[in-house]
Amino acid sequence: MLNTTDPQVKFALNAVRQASLLVRQVQLDLVSPALTKNDRSPVTVADFASQALIGNLLKQSFPDDPLVAEEDSSALREPDAAETLEQVRSFTARFAGDCDAESVLSWIDHGRVDTARRFWTLDPIDGTKGFLRGEQYAVALALIEDGQVQIGVLGCPNLVDAYRPDAASYGSLVIAVRGQGCWVTPLDRPGEFERLRVSKRTNPEEARILRSVESGHTNVDQIDQFAAALGVRVEPVRMDSQGKYSVLAAGKGELVMRLLSPAKPDYKEKIWDQAAGSIVVEEAGGKITDLSGRPLDFTCGRSLLNNRGILASNGLLHEAAVEALQRIGAQ
Sign of CA dihedral 191, 197, 198, 201: negative
Those residues whose C-beta lies under 8 Å from the C-beta of residue 252, and which sit 6 or more positions away, are 163, 199, 208, 237
Per annotation, catalytic residue among 44, 121, 128, 185: 128
Does residue 266 have an active-site annotation? no
Cβ(124)–Cβ(52) below 8 Å: no
Catalytic residue among 44, 47, 126, 218: 47
Cα–Cα distance for residue pair 280/245, rounded to 1 Å: 7
CA distances (Å), 200 to each of 23, 94, 229, 253, in order?
Answer: 34, 43, 21, 10
d(CA 81, CA 87): 10
For β-strands 159-160 and 287-289, DSSP reports them as unpaired
Contact call for residues 183 and 176 (beta carbons, < 8 A) = yes
Q: Is 188 a catalytic residue?
A: no
Catalytic residues, by residue number, are: 47, 128
